[in-house]
Every structure is written in C-alpha cells, then in structure tokens.
Amino acid sequence: MQQQLAMGIDLGGTNLKAALVDRDGRIIAKASQPVDVSRGPDAVIDEMVAMVDSLLAGRSCDRSDLVCVGVGSPGPLSIREGRIHHSANLPGWRNVPLRDTLSEKLQRPVVLDNDGNAAAFGEFWVGAGGGCNDLVMLTLGTGVGAGVVLNGALVHGHFENAAELGHLIVEVDGLPCPCGQHGCLEQYSSASAVARRVVTAIEQGQACALAAGFQSGQPVDCVNVVQCAKDGDAVCTKIWDEACMYLAVAVIDIQHAYNPARIVLGGGMSSAGAFLLDRITDHLTRRCWSLHDDLPVITLSELGTDAGVIGAAGLAWRHANDAS
C-alpha cells in the first residue's frame, strides 16, 4: 500500500488516544486507553508505539504506510526541539525529548505540539472552522485549553507558549491557580471549576439542590450543576452565570488581541449547548466595546473528543506535505 495515512496521538494525563486519519481528515481507525503517566516517559512512549502498531495491524497496514505521526501533549513544550519541558498533567516529566524518541522507535517522522493547539487545528482543518482562516478554540474541561489559528497557521509565540488562554487573569487577586497566578480563567470557567465552586458553596452551608447528594457521597460534576441551574437552583444558577460572564470577558480580550472571525468552544462544558452560548452572548453584548462591530461568531466544536487526534494528524499531514 502506498503511504496515505497519518497518525494522530493525544497524550493526556489520564488517557492516551490515537487515530489513523486520511488526507481528508477522516478517521479510519481509532483507539483510547487509560494511561499511567507516573510510570514515566519511557513506559508511556512504549504504549504509544504499541497503540500505533495495533491500529495499523487492524487495517492490514504497517509503519511504512504512515507519512508522519503527530502528537498533541500538555505543555509547556518546545515545538522546535520536540521536547516537553514540564507539565502539571505529566508529573515527573521534565525535558523529555518525546518527538525524537518516538520517531526513533517508530522509524517515522514525528511532530509535537501543544494539545490545545492540536485540537484547534483539527477544528480549523475539518471541523467548526470550515472556511475560516482566523479562529480561536477554548476547551472547557478539567482546565481551559486553547489554540489560536491566524491566517491559517497556529500561533506559537517567541517562547512557544502562546495561546495559554486558560491563564488569562479575569479576576485580579482572585482564586489561586496551580500555575502560580491568581484569578485565572480556568479557575472560574472550566467544567471542573464550576463543580468545585458549587462544592465549596455547599461546604459553606449554602442551600443547594445538590447538597444532599454530595453529603451522602455522590460526586458533583458540571452536568449536575447545569441541570440544577436550568431547574432554577440559586447556587448553581449563580455559579454557572459567573462562569459564562468570565468567558464573555475572555472572549472580549481574545477579540482585542487576535480579532478572529470565530471562537470555537469544546470540552465538557460545551455539552450545555445553547444554555452556554446564550449566557455568554448575554454578557458579551453588555460588556463589549461600541466603537466597532467586530465580534466573532461563537460556536460549538464539531469534532468533540476527536478534535485532538484529528488535529495532531492534520499537523502530521502538513509536515509531510511541507517536506515533500
């Protein structure tokens, strides 16, 4: 078989995903499995190799059929060096030459980029960014990941850590963030932050529809909070509304900084759909400037949980095309 496939890998703190993707961005085969990153880089890279080989074997292919492998990883990292510097989601991983190590094991070219960038590139390539050369993606999950595409290219910045938009400060001297700052967007507007703030309110004795379940051992997640907010619970409504307000503030900041045509929302919170978009829009229209009508279209991810692997494969295809 002639080379006509790329592999996209999404390395997370708890899950490892991979997909064989064709030139048009279609997934041919994919796999996902839990990963224990505490076992160290060597063990996890070996798992990547095994997953690649398994997916290829399932399609009667071998490594020679891969034009390139793309990996999306939590940062900070260096795209130029193909190295993970350090990541809160990958404890103990410091200065890991992931690109070159994986390439040596697979004997195929490998490209490495931030996982938020990979997801954004996936949406730009074959998702919600269709026909749009300038977009920003926010993934609202455990944290707030992001990627910026301007003029059809990912923005990396001089230090290769551009688009860490989850760490925009939206509340001066606000809630502490593991990054060392206070008041970061992801401490208010990630799915985990919404749930955590409701738990804090319950622990402080505030009346909440989720209190009885929490006190009997049931976990609180963002889906619960959204449903209770829809049902009119005061605590959940307030915290959900604040999350959307801070997202609106971030959208305004993003628009002034990058002026994209489109902002794509993904991650767990995006499953709230119109309940998320409508509240953000309400806050946005009350707070944005009046000098010029240049607000972006805010839309939901079309690729869902596959955005990362599709985007990583898209970066692999781009690398292969540039090298040919």
Asked whether residue 14 carries a pLDDT value surpassing 50, the answer given is: yes
pLDDT at 290: 74
Question: Which band of pLDDT confidence, cut at 50, 70 and 90, is reported for residue 3?
Answer: low
Question: Which band of pLDDT confidence, cut at 50, 70 and 90, is reported for residue 1?
Answer: very low
Mean pLDDT of 188-200: 96
Q: How far apart are CA 111 and CA 102, in angstroms?
A: 10
* Average pLDDT across the chain, whole number: 94
**pLDDT tens digits along 237-259:** 999 999 999 999 999 999 999 99
pLDDT at 111: 98
pLDDT at 232: 97
**pLDDT tens digits along 112-136:** 999 999 999 999 999 999 889 999 9
> For the chain, how far is it from start to end, CA to CA, in angstroms?
18
Give how far Cα 22 sits from Cα of 6, 139, 190, 191, 303, Å: 6, 24, 32, 32, 15
pLDDT at 142: 85
Q: How far apart are CA 62 and CA 58, in angstroms?
A: 10
Domains and CATH numbers, the chain: 5-122 (3.30.420.40), 131-301 (3.30.420.40)
**Phi-psi map region of 112: left, alpha, beta (phi>0 left; psi -120 to 50 alpha):** beta
**pLDDT tens digits along 33-88:** 999 999 999 999 999 999 999 999 999 999 999 999 999 998 889 999 999 998 87
Contacts 24+ apart (CB under 8 A), 252-259: 252/284, 252/287, 252/288, 252/289, 253/168, 254/136, 254/165, 254/296, 255/288, 255/294, 255/295, 255/296, 258/134, 258/136, 258/148, 258/150, 258/155, 259/134, 259/294
**Phi-psi map region of 63: left, alpha, beta (phi>0 left; psi -120 to 50 alpha):** alpha
Question: Which band of pLDDT confidence, cut at 50, 70 and 90, is reported for residue 92?
Answer: confident
Q: How far apart are CA 5 and CA 27, in angstroms?
A: 10
Helix 41-58 vs helix 98-106: angle between axes, to the nearest 10 degrees?
Answer: 40
Asked whether residue 2 carries a pLDDT value surpassing 60, the answer given is: no
Burial class for 80, CB neighbours closer than 10 Å (0-12, 13-18, 19+):
exposed
Percentage of the chain with pLDDT > 70?
99
Burial class for 278, CB neighbours closer than 10 Å (0-12, 13-18, 19+):
exposed
Q: How far apart are CA 296 and CA 259, in angstroms?
A: 8
**pLDDT tens digits along 283-317:** 999 988 777 777 899 999 999 999 999 999 999 99
**pLDDT tens digits along 211-223:** 999 999 999 999 9
User: Which residue stretches of the chain are H helix?
Assistant: 41-58, 98-106, 115-126, 186-189, 191-203, 211-215, 222-230, 234-258, 274-287, 307-323
